[in-house]
Structure formats: C-alpha cells, structure tokens
Amino acid sequence: MEEYPEELRTPPVALVSLVGCPELHTLISTHLHSEQPPINTLALPDFSKISIMAKTQKDTSASGQAAGILKRDWLLKHRTRVPAIVAALFSSDHVSGDPAQWLQVCTDLENLKALIRGRNIKLVLVVVVQSTSKHDISEDRMIALRKRAEVDSKYLINFVPNDALDLQQSLNRMGNTFAELANTYYRDEGRRIKMRLERKSFSSIELNIRYCFKVAVYAEFRRDWVEALRLYEDAYHVLREMIGTATRLPAIQRLVEIKTVAEQLHFKISTLLLHGGKVIEAITWFRQHNASYRRLVGAPEVIFLHWEWLSRQFLVFAELLETSSAITPSISFPVSGRADRLTEWELYSAYYYQLAAHYLKEKKSSLELALSMSEAEIDGMAESVVPAVYVGQFARLLEQGNTFSMQPLTDEDYIHYALAEGKRFQDSFEIIALVKKSFEMYSSSKAQRMASYCGFQMAREYFAESEFGNAKQLFDSVASLYRQEGWVTLLWEVLGYLRECSRRLGSVKDFIEYSLEMAALPVLPVAGVLSFSFKECGPAGPASLAQREIIHEEVFGLVRGQSSLASNEGNSSLKVTGDHPIHLEIDLVSPLRVVAATSNDQSVHRVETALVLSLVTNKWLRLTYDIKSEQSGKLECVSVIARMGPHFTICCRAESPASLNDLPLWKFEDRVETFPTKDPGLAFSGQKFTQVEEPDPLVDLKLVASGPALVGESFIVPVTVTSKGHAIHSGELKINLVDTRGGGLLSPREVEPSSSDNLHVELLGVSGLECEDESKPGMENIKKIQHSFGLISVPYLNVGDSWSCKLEIKWHRPKPVMLYVSLGYSSHSSEPSVQKVHVHKSLQIEGKTAVSISHRFMLPFRREPLLLSKIKPVLDSDQMPSLPLNETSILVVSAKNCTEVPLQLLSMSIEMEDDGSGRSCSLQHGGKDLIDPALLVPGEEFKKVFSVIPEVNVSNLEIGTVCLRWRRDSGPEEESGSNTAASEVLTKHRLPDVNVELSPLVVSLECPPHAILGNPFTYFIKIQNQTQLLQEIKLSLADSQSFVLSGYHNDTTFVLPKSEHILSYKLVPLASGSQQLPRVTVTAMRYSAGFQPSIAASTVFVFPSEPHFKMAHIMASPESIAVE
C-alpha cells in the first residue's frame, strides 16, 4: 500500500487557494484543516504567483483516440493545484487606501478573474480589517470591489484578525463559506462530467472509464461515498470489458495498463467498502476481483509481472483489512445460504498475507526463469524508460538537446525494462516478512496448523537463502507438530530439510538424530511414488522405502565411522571420530523414542556390556543379565547404552513395558510374544525396576519374660542372640520400651520426664552379660541406656554361638508395655557399613501391682467415745475418719498378694513422718516383728495391728507411711542358691490423714467376758464426762429376751464435769450361746446426740455351765481380738 501515491491512498480533500496577505495564511490554513470535513489550502503569498493554478495546456493531439485511461497526474493536480475556491485577501487599508493602492487591488482582481475565467473555480473576497481602521472602510469601495469581483455579497468576508472573538467569527464564517462553495464546485464539476457519461458523449472506452473515475473522485471530494463507490465500480466493470477489445497498445503493455488501473479502482472500492464497515462486501468484492484477473497471466515472458501484481493485490487487501479490523474488531459472520459463502480464513488478514507471499514466490521463480532465458544484456536498454503520462504506461524518455520527448515502447523493450526492474528487488526477504506476519497472526488465533504451514514456508525460504540456522529452528518447531499429529509424509519432508540443515551447519549429532528418525519413519509403501514430482519434495527426496534405505545406509555408515559427509561449514566434513564421539540421549519425550525404545535390560550404576546386539525391526530383543544385588532397595534399569561403531553411543532411557501402551486390540495379540517379558502378564504390567529384599537373617533373637512384672521390682528380661547361619559382625541391639496404648513416651503428661519418679516404666540397665568367654566388664558394652531406650553392642559371634544379656526394667505404675528389641548386624566382616541385616522381636509385658495395702481403724472394745463429727450430717461422702483424742484407736493394716506368684513378706512397719514438731500421736504395734519371712500365696492377706493414740488435737493428723518389704518367693530349692534370690522390694503406702477430736463423752460398757446360764452378773455402763460442763444424759435400756434385768430402763442423770457416772445393772442370762445384752442408748442432751454401742460390743457369750479353762491372757492380747 505504501507504494501507492499519497493522493490515491487518502480520500480527497477540498482545495482552497489563498492569495495575498501571507501573514494570515498559516492561521487560516490551520483552521480550515481542522474543519470537519477538512479543507486543504493552496497558499500563494501574492498575486504574482497565481499562474501556478493556470490551466495546463491540454495535449489534444489525439483527441479522437485517448492515449491512455487515466492520467497519472490528474488526481494530484486536483489535490494540489486546482482549487475549488480562490480566496483573494485584501487588506482593508489597500481597499480603502489611496487610489494607487485601490488600483493595485483592482488589477490583482482582474488578473485573478482572468485566470479562473471559463473554469468553475469560485471566487471569494476577503477583506482583512485591522481593528483600528474598522470603521474607516468606505462602503462605496466595498461595493465597488464586490461589483468588480462579480461576487455575491455573502462571498465578501470581513476578516478581523486582531480581536479574538471577531477572529473566531471570521474564521467560522470563512470556513462555512468555503465548505459550501467547495461542495458546489465539486458537485458542478462532477455533474458536468457525469452529463457526458449519461449522454455517452465519449469517443472511446478509455474516456468512459476516465469520466467515471473523475466523477467518483469529485464525489469523494464531496464525501458522497455512495456515489463514489458506484462510479468506481462502473469504471471497474467497464475496464474489465476492455480486456480483449482494446487494441491501442502492444499486447503486453495493454494488459499492464489495464491491470494497473484495475488495481487503483479496486483499491478505491475496497477502501470505501471497508471504511463504510462493509467488510463482507469488501471481501466478496476482492474475491471477484481476484477471480476475474487471476487467469489473465499475460505473455509468458513477463508472467512474473502478473504474479507480482497478484501478490500486491493480496498484500494491499491484507493491509486494508488489518487496519479496518483494528477499527471494527468484531465481524459478525453471516450465516447465509449462498453457495459461495465466505469461509473463516477470508476474514483474517493473515490469509491474504499468506497468499501475497505465495504469489510473490511465484513471481520470484518465474522471474528467475525469465532472467535465465534472456541472457542478453538488459540493463542498458532499460535505462531511459520512465513512467508515462498515463497510469500504467511506460515510455522511453528521449533527450534531444534541451527538450525531452516521450517515445512509446515496444513490448520487447518493455520486457527488458521489466526484467531489469525485477532484478532490483530482493523478493526472499519480502516473502519471509509476509509469511512471518501471517504466521504470527495464525499463531495468535490458535490456528496452529496454518501457522506451522507458514512456518514451513518461512523456513524453506530461509533454506533457499542458505540461512540454515534460522531455517532449522523453524523446521524444528514445524516438525514437532507433524510428529505429534503423526503426519508422516509431511514430517518426512521437514526432516529432510532438517537433516540437510544440520549437515550444512556441521552438526553431526543432529544429523544422525534426524537421519535415524527418518530411517524409522513408517513411510507407506505407496504404489504411486512417482506422482511426486522431484521439484516439489524436499532435499530428502520422496518419502519412499527406497529413500529410507538410502538414508539408513548413509547414517549407519557415518555412525560406524566408515564414511563421512561433506559439510559446507568450513572445510570440515561430518565424521564420527574419536575426537568427536557422539552420544545420543533418548528419553521419553525424544522423537527418537520410536526408533530405539525397544530393548530393556538392567544395570545398576554400572555398565553391563553385551558384545553384539542385533535388533530386528519391530521385535523385542531380550537381554538377560544376572545381577547380583549387593544392596537392598529399589533396583531400577535406568538406561541402555548401545554402541555402534567405535565412537558412537546411544543412551536410551528404559521404559516399563507397561508404559508402552498400545491399543489393547486383539489384533496385536501375536505381538505379545515379542514383548520384552515372556510372561504375558508381565508384558502388560511389567516394571523396569524391582525391589531387592534384604538377605534373610539367620539369627535367633529370643526374648523371655516370666509372666507379668510386678511394680517396684526390677524385672529381668533375658535376651538371647543365637547365630544359626552366619556369623554376626558388629551387632547392635536396640531396645525400645513403648506404651502399648501408643505413644513412645511412657509418661507423656509428666512435666519432667528425666526424673525417674515420673516414669511409669523404666529401663534400668543391662546385667548378666553371659558369654562363655566374656571377660570384659559388662557395663563397658552398654553404649547407651535411657529410660525407654537402650543400645547395646553385641560381640562377634561365630556360627552357632549364642550370647545373652538381661534387661532390667522397673515398673513404677502398673502398665502394659511393649518391649522392642532389634538386632542389626552385618554378616560380612569386610564392609561393616554397607549392609546391615535386621532382626526384630517384640514382647508385651504386663506390669502389675504386687501387693495391695489397705487399712482400717477400730475403737477399743466396749468403749464408745462420742464423736461429734459423726453426728453431724455428712456432706461429703469421703469424710476423713475421726479419731478421739487421747484415746487408743486400733489400726489394722492388711497387705494382699495380688499377683499369681507367691511372695515373701519380709517386714511391715509404719514410718511416722518426723516433722520436728514433736510427736502428734503415739503409735505402737502389738506383737513382735516377723522373724521369718511370711509366705503369702496369691490372694492371701497379711494383717498387722497397731494402736494409735492421738496426742494433739488437730484436724489433719498424719499417721505415717506403711513400708512393706517383700520379694518374690523363689521356692525352697532356689533359696539355697545364693545370688539368684530375688531382690527385696520396698513398697510404700501412705496412710491417709485422720481427724482428731476430743470426745465430750465416753461410754464404756463393762461386763464379764462371759456369763453362765442362770448366774447373775453385773453390767456396768460408765459415762465419763470429759468436758468442763455439766452434761445431761438421757439413758434408755432395751429389754432383752435372753436376760432378766434389774434397774432403770429409762433415766435422766447429770454427769458432773470431769467425772464419771456409773450405772450398774444386774443381769441373769436366760439362754446360752452368744447373746445380745440389753442395748443401751445414751443421749447427750447438750449435743442432742444419742449413741449406741455397736452390736458386737454388746454381745456376750453365755456358757450353759461354768467352763474350765484358764483365761488369764485372753483379755490382755488385743491382737487376738483384732484378728477375729
């Protein structure tokens, strides 16, 4: 489009000539230009310059027969030299000045009138009024001026430049006047010529076209686009008819002229349509334009001119479409029923760019052909050829002295000229630029196939220009699409180019890769190979089996180092040598995968070498390797490296057979046999890696626990390691204690896990490292013992040897625990760090409480102190037991064996807490300490009686802690063995605090220890008042069937402070056996508390007759009472 002249490219703009008063021209021009529609100005500083507008002398020599269709300069003339209006600017000073000045004005005006006489050019008078002399203008002079100029009064404008407001008004008025007049002018001009058209008063078809063109241009001046379009179309149609009828020029030039004019007309039409938003119409019009001229190739010698022309048509339209689609972005696609409806690409300018490139390429090749045909020197003859007066015509410029004359050309001369011109241009770059534009547009609109076709064309052009680097890059991207979509034939062609590029670039590796890929392409054995014309196909020749064979031979020859290929980069040749070994990597995404991803074997960080391999097409070669695994874990076949020739290797990533998924059609069933694994199951699911297991440990690890552990004792778990199959080197025993209920920490909630008190279960240590030749001290072998973790080294063990140790574990709380023991060792002494064998054992051990200790307080027999705290309503259930102050209470502590093994009780004592404040109570136990350990069978209870006398009246009396020493009873036979006896365990049990209070009243019953049927005895009830107060006591005694009673049944007495009141009753037993004494109820009125001695306390045994036994000790031993 750029090569079109400016006047053609832009819409015409009305032209006004300003004459005189040059100082105002810029101001006026700027204003007019910014008008809507704009007006151009032809500014002439003074009246002497007006001759520029003078009519050119018409060359009417061949008036009957027009010499051409359109004059080259006509449009330009009307754009720049022939104004619609001449505005004569006079200064008001001159107009109203002295006669000389007035005369000058008149003369200038006359000259101007003479110039425009006979032409339709409008005249406007502008009187520039200086504001100072505003009122000085004489009305007469003005009228005289107007008369002279023969203009209407409205075309005489007063122009006031000095006042802003006035200036604006003047400018506006001027603009409006000019616009109106220009419109009239161009309409009249158009009408004038149109008249000729309508009357058909033209002598030739050329004039017909010219008139149409002119009318259209005038319409354009008036912005009457519809009319302009119609007349351009008329002109175009008439022009089309000229083909074949015109005889004016020699044939070749005639066609050139017609096409050039057609091009201009078409450009105008397209521009108008597109600017009017009629995209579809424009495209349709272009299609028709293309269709009607494409076949008009013209003479074969200058066929390149046709292609050039056609290319230009596409290019120009592409540019127009691109600019217009930038303005109107969305094009609604018509859904029309027309047979020739538009297809998608016609809306894209990319399509036109592409075709422009295509035809330019045609031009290039035909130009080359034409140049090669005409070997004569063409330059000299073309020198003086210039464009002629008419559009699309050329003539020889003859220089005759000072005058130049145009001489028509013969066709032969023209051909020479055209060839010479054609040689001047570098079409390749133009082609690449066009295709690139198209490529980018297609890429951005996601038409990747179109884009890659463009890329291919671009690359081919680069290739032709020997720019192999660029070409290769483009070809590569194109190839990847074809590869991906499986277009073998296209891929073959591209690879052929790529191969050639890499050969030229001297890239051996690429060359081999491309060659291998080509050699493996499934080229179809098509019968009609010859339908390829060799000109069409790339450097690799047609895609055929034979060609494939050639490439195969070539590349393998190269690879083996047997041959070399000439490269044009430098003088080097492609060769695989020791200096330049080639190593190809083939991974999952490499295109060569198809070629070589066929053989699988295994190698573990090392190379297994197979001497000779021969791979058969489409068959799997099975390679079997014995691999000795030295390490456990994943064993994977990473890659296979094949070596061909001395310096060429292919490294191929291994793939799982399972990942080579083909369509699971039964058709391929027979291929299963050639899959890399024989097992058809594995053929589908086979893996390229396998798991190498550890060697089986040939070691016995034994953990023994003798039943549940007891809390407090240090429990022994013997661990025995016995080697059965191989020696044990650098063995290590790891011990872990884990809470069975999960969690590694044994006491997760404790704040200080380091303190052993907080640990529930604790690993104390390892003892008794018993080995035959064990001389070292055991503790040295212990590497690390923590509360729940231990690490012990195991000495070297020969086959068959065994080693054992004992783990000491202590339970602080009853809790089940998992004991994990794992033995890690290596079976070879040589490399201790390489591979360890691990044996794991675990054992769950229950921890149980050995003895449960309970206690009970009792009061002395038949002595009931009134404890007020017992009378009060009990609010909380676990009230502290209360003990009377200074009274003797009995404490019974019992220890029960909760285990399933017999225990030996060594001693039981109560340790008082000595807080330094003196004794708060006296505690003593009756009876002697145990001399021999007491054997406690499971479930058995041991009791011991203590008497407690609280001596301080406190609410919280600490009694002390029961200390129980015991041990497992290991049976009489083991008792003789010295050190095996189980160690003593001390179990402590803190007795709860008691409440001590002074009892105000103590009721004691006194009666003989036994009675004899019929023998009366005295029953004393003693009420001791321990307070300083007088106590009123209500007493009632219930009757008993077994006794006859004398005395009050009910009584109320007063007990004096610190004194004792004694009631005595005489009782006669009536029945023998254990009999209930009459029950007494004492009520202390002061405390309104009544109390009754317990039933046990008021029971007496009645003998039928006097028994005969000594009863001296019975009363004295409280122990016997307690045990009852």
669 binds other proteins (CB under 8 A): yes
Give the torsion sign (CA, 479, 482, 486, 492): negative
Q: Check binding of 381 to other proteins (CB under 8 A).
A: no
> Quick check: 316 binds other proteins (CB under 8 A)?
no
Nearer to other proteins, 70 or 310 (CB): 310
The answer to whether 341 contacts other proteins (rule: CB under 8 A) is yes
Rounded to whole angstroms, how far apart are CA atoms 1021 and 1092? 12
Between 570 and 664, whose beta carbon lies closer to other proteins? 664
Question: Among candidates 716, 714, 697, 694, which has minimal Cα distance to 705?
Answer: 716
Task: With CA atoms as reference, report the closest residue to 69 among 264, 260, 206.
Answer: 206
How many residues bind other proteins (CB under 8 A)? The answer is 48
Which one, 224 or 461, has the nearer CB to other proteins? 461
464 binds other proteins (CB under 8 A): no
| C-beta closer to other proteins: residue 205 or 682 | 682
Inter-CA distances, 188 with 120, 152, 182, 273, 972, Å: 8, 18, 10, 25, 148
Name the segment binding other proteins (CB under 8 A); options: 413-421, 529-537, 1041-1049, 1070-1078: 529-537
Q: For other proteins, which residue of 398, 524, 638, 952 counts as binding (CB under 8 A)?
A: 524
Give yes or no for residue 673 binding other proteins (CB under 8 A): no
453 belongs to the binding site for other proteins (CB under 8 A): yes
How far apart are the C-alpha atoms of 969 and 902, rounded to whole Å? Answer: 5
* Between 526 and 981, CB nearer to other proteins: 526
Least distance to other proteins, CB of residue 971, Å: 51
1053 CB neighbour count, 10 Å cutoff: 13
CA distance 772 to 614: 63
Nearest-5° angle of CA 597, CA 601, CA 607? 110
User: Which of residues 337 and 1009 has its CB atom nearest to other proteins in the complex?
Assistant: 337
The torsion of the CA quartet 864, 869, 870, 871, rounded to 10 degrees, works out to 100
622 makes contact with other proteins (CB under 8 A): no
If one counts every other C-beta atom within 10 angstroms of the C-beta of residue 559, the result is 24
Its sign, for the CA torsion 865, 867, 868, 871, is negative
User: Cα separation of 633 and 636, whole Å?
Assistant: 10
The residue among 1065, 1001, 998 whose CA lies nearest residue 1033 is 1001
Does 1068 contact other proteins by CB under 8 A?
no
- The residue among 463 and 803 lying less far from other proteins, judged by its C-beta, is 463
Span from 241-249, 448-456, 467-475, 705-713 in contact with other proteins (CB under 8 A): 448-456
Site for other proteins in 709-738 (CB under 8 A): none
Instruction: Look up residue 810 and give its amino acid.
Output: K
Q: Of 344 and 913, which CB lies nearer to other proteins in the complex structure? A: 344
Question: Rounded to the nearest whole angstrom, what is the least distance from the CB of residue 459 to other proteins in the complex?
Answer: 13
Terminal CA-to-CA distance of the chain, rounded, Å? 131
450 near other proteins (CB under 8 A): yes
Of 109-117, 568-576, 658-666, 731-739, which part binds other proteins (CB under 8 A)?
658-666
Binding of residue 693 to other proteins (CB under 8 A): no
Contact 1043, 1017 (CB under 8 A): no
Q: Which range, of 52-60, 79-87, 660-668, 967-975, touches other proteins by CB under 8 A?
A: 660-668
Compute the distance between CA of residue 1069 and CA of residue 1045 in angstroms, rounded to an integer: 9
Judged by CB under 8 A, does residue 269 bind other proteins? no
Q: Which of 667, 749, 928, 1110 binds other proteins (CB under 8 A)?
A: 667
Q: Which is nearer to other proteins, 489 or 690 (CB)?
A: 489
Strand order through the sheet with 921-925: 851-858, 889-897, 941-950, 921-925
Please tell me the distance from the alpha carbon of residue 267 to that of residue 258, in angstroms, as a whole number: 14
Tokens 């030996």, residue? 904
Task: Pick the closer one to other proteins by CB: 68 or 541.
Answer: 541
Residue 680 CB, shortest distance to other proteins, in Å, is 6
Under the binding rule (CB under 8 A), the answer on residue 666 touching other proteins is yes
- Whether residue 12 contacts residue 116, with contact meaning beta carbons closer than 8 Å, is answered with no
Nearest to 1024 by CA among 867, 861, 865, 862: 865
Note the Cα 691 to chain centre separation in Å: 32
Per the CB < 8 A criterion, the answer to whether 781 and 795 are in contact is: yes
Residue 335 binding other proteins, by CB under 8 A: yes
Taking CB under 8 A as the binding criterion, the range among 381-389, 432-440, 677-685, 926-934 that sits at the site for other proteins is 677-685
Q: What distance in Å separates the CA atoms of residue 290 and residue 62, rounded to the nearest whole number?
A: 34
**What residues numbered 198-217 form the site for other proteins, per CB under 8 A?**
none
Contacting residue, 351, 715, 811, 942, with other proteins by CB under 8 A: 351
Among 42, 157, 231, 355, binds other proteins (CB under 8 A): 355
Whole-number minimum distance, CB 523 to other proteins, in Å?
Answer: 11
Q: Give dist(CA 766, CA 661) in Å, integer.
A: 60
Residue of the chain from 346, 440, 554, 732 that contacts other proteins (CB under 8 A): 346
Closer CB to other proteins, 448 or 835, in the complex? 448
User: At closest approach, how far in Å is the CB of 533 from other proteins?
Assistant: 8
Residue 342 makes contact with other proteins by CB under 8 A: yes
- Does 594 bind other proteins (CB under 8 A)? Our answer is no
- Shortest distance in whole angstroms from residue 19 CB to other proteins: 54
Task: Rule CB under 8 A: say whether 295 interacts with other proteins.
Answer: no
d(CA 1120, CA 890): 12
Taking CB under 8 A as the criterion, the residue among 389, 406, 520, 537 binding other proteins is 537
User: What order of strands is seen across the sheet that includes strand 1080-1084?
Assistant: 1050-1055, 1031-1037, 1080-1084, 1089-1091
| Shortest Å distance, C-beta 287 to other proteins | 7
Judged by beta carbon, residue 531 or residue 1028, the one nearer other proteins is: 531
The residue range among 173-181, 319-327, 676-684, 883-891 that interacts with other proteins, by the rule CB under 8 A, is 676-684
Q: At what angle do helices 225-242 and 251-275 cross, to 10 degrees?
A: 160
Cβ atoms 34, 178 nearer than 8 A: no
- CB of 449 or CB of 872, closer to other proteins: 449
Per CB under 8 A, 757 contacts other proteins: no
The smaller minimum CB distance to other proteins, of residues 90 and 453, is found at 453
Query: Which residues between 477 and 516 bind other proteins (CB under 8 A)?
Result: 482, 484-490, 493
Tell me: does residue 606 bind other proteins (CB under 8 A).
Answer: no
Candidates 427-435, 665-673, 768-776, 1076-1084 — which segment interacts with other proteins by CB under 8 A? 665-673
The binder of other proteins chosen from 110, 136, 344, 974 (CB under 8 A): 344
532 binds other proteins per the rule CB under 8 A: yes
| Cβ–Cβ under 8 Å, residues 802 and 773 | no
Q: Select 669 or 975, whichever has its Cβ closest to other proteins.
A: 669
Q: Is the peptide bond before 37 cis (omega within 30 degrees of 0)?
A: yes
Shortest distance in whole angstroms from residue 196 CB to other proteins? 39
For residue 1083, what are the contacts with CB-CB under 8 A and spacing of at least 6?
1033, 1034, 1035, 1036, 1089, 1090, 1091
- Asked whether the CA dihedral 281, 284, 288, 290 is positive or negative, the reply is positive
Q: Does 546 contact other proteins by CB under 8 A? A: no
Q: Could you list the residues that contact other proteins (CB under 8 A)? A: 287, 290, 333, 335, 339-346, 351, 355, 442, 447-450, 453, 456, 482, 484-490, 493, 524, 526, 528-529, 531-533, 536-537, 663-667, 669, 680-681, 684
